[in-house]
Structure 1
């Protein structure tokens, strides 16, 4: 555990140095309100670096997550650490999960995760940020995420590094600074490592972990799977009703644009879509809805 901690602190110290040197600004530590983000903040404090903290408010987070982030920000601001909440926008206008769905014409799915791009991945443009991404979370992340990354607009030009500091310095020196740079200091931590560090350092956590939640994210996220979504909607029925209203608006928008089809046609309701969404979960059949934008 000590070895992992020292490596992660060294990554953060290098990232902070590069941020000050090439961006003339402190490192940004991003937080979702989940355990991995909280560990990154604790490591940044242990690293003795200058940093800011930012949170992207998705509008679909659980109330406990919103309160946890606000309480955490109060403590950090009392220490003189700048904290910022970023509110989502789409096509230059403020947006919520519920107003985004009608614009996109399809519910969010594992294969159509437009909500993450709009609601979760804003902020930090032209800056160096950290995330709590870990390889242990999925095979996809193991293949596509590294210790250090460049995040240009053209994703095909993304650069991923998992090696030494010399290459990392070249990443910052040779790439245009308009692109976002990312440091993932706990990318090689296992779940057990995260929990061991939390208990050892007595990190104050989001209370949802004590309520049966294995992940903390948007309520109704398809990544949680059918059972996870049902569990969340049973706890937060107001969110389920909000999705149903958004699906009703989505159907109305599809009708107005002439994009009703064999899957969704006149007579279907937002509740029908909710039933389909939960019944099929993450199956490929979700993508049978055509005409999304």
Structure 2
């Protein structure tokens, strides 16, 4: 059985705001018709999420807002999301905070690390899949992903997307010259469907829109933070991570404590062979995780994966 997604008319050019709203309206129509639920706008507490929420309000579409509580976000971000949810709920928008779960139980970054027996790394981003990407399952969602953020996103992300566990069956619509039916051609595809309405917006366009619209933004931007995310994210530069731990020293302690519990669990399971010396403390793991000098005999990421 297939569905005719080609009924949706997408704007192809013109004012970036109108184009983005057109994308949201198209996604909203599809969400209502084929899912029977409103479009979900996901918010991380960052500037791009704030733009998407404001565009959805201006578009006059029915929508909900969801936030995935990672447990490793900055306190300022947590407070900002709460304040924004109060504002949006007063406007009649349903807002939901999704709390992370692993193996059927509530979890956090600090309990996940001992369970996974390794720190989150660039290659093993289990934290993202568990803490950030579980919300919105079974719904049509909106994100603030933009090509300007990285060359990888420019290569791999699109305006409309259908993500499946089989990467070979992932469907991407890069631009409005393609029909949505090319991406969502079969109702049999079990996928999370996504619209990224500002995917082609440069940073300048984002800030210009926010300033003109007087949209509330995370106060961290006023402190010089360029991107909002989990504190200590291994995808960030080392200097940025150290800046974050100087600003929020309690999070460094939480990571070290989690690494200590991780080592205890590895010992219990007999996974402390000679390859992983590291002094046997969470502090040593933290130093390794922060990409400091690795002494001979210390474990590599490849060693972790083999164990």
Q: What TM-score do you get using the length of structure 2 for normalisation?
A: 0.89
Would you say the 8 A contact 1:263–1:288 is kept in 2?
Answer: no
Q: CA deviation at 1:165?
A: 7.6
1:224 partner SS: coil
Residues 1:244 and 2:247 are matched in the alignment: no
Residues 1:199 and 2:219 are matched in the alignment: no
Alpha-carbon distance in structure 2 between the residues aligned to 1:153 and 1:275: 34
Alpha-carbon distance in structure 1 between the residues aligned to 2:229 and 2:75: 11
Q: CA deviation at 1:175?
A: 3.4
Q: CA deviation at 1:48?
A: 0.9
2:67 partner SS: strand
Alpha-carbon distance in structure 1 between the residues aligned to 2:128 and 2:207: 26
Alpha-carbon distance in structure 1 between the residues aligned to 2:18 and 2:34: 24
- Look up the match of 1:188: 200
Would you say the 8 A contact 1:23–1:177 is kept in 2?
Answer: no
Alpha-carbon distance in structure 2 between the residues aligned to 1:166 and 1:271: 52
1:255 partner SS: helix
Of 87, 100, 103, 1:75 maps to: 87
Q: What TM-score do you get using the length of structure 1 for normalisation?
A: 0.93
Residues 1:287 and 2:304 are matched in the alignment: no
Gapped regions of structure 1 (runs ≥ 5): none
Residues 1:271 and 2:283 are matched in the alignment: yes
- Look up the match of 2:130: 118
Cα 1:162–1:279, aligned 2, differ >3 Å: closer, same or farther?
Answer: closer
Q: CA deviation at 1:266?
A: 8.0
Q: CA deviation at 1:108?
A: 1.0
Residues 1:25 and 2:50 are matched in the alignment: no
1:290 partner SS: helix
- Look up the match of 1:59: 71
Greater helix fraction, Structure 1 or Structure 2: 1
Would you say the 8 A contact 1:19–1:128 is kept in 2?
Answer: yes
The number of aligned residues is: 290
Q: Which aligned runs of 4 or more in structure 1 are off by greater than 6 angstroms? A: none
Gapped regions of structure 2 (runs ≥ 5): 1-12, 294-298
Select the structure of larger CA radius of gyration: 2
- Look up the match of 1:107: 119
Cα 1:288–1:240, aligned 2, differ >3 Å: closer, same or farther?
Answer: same
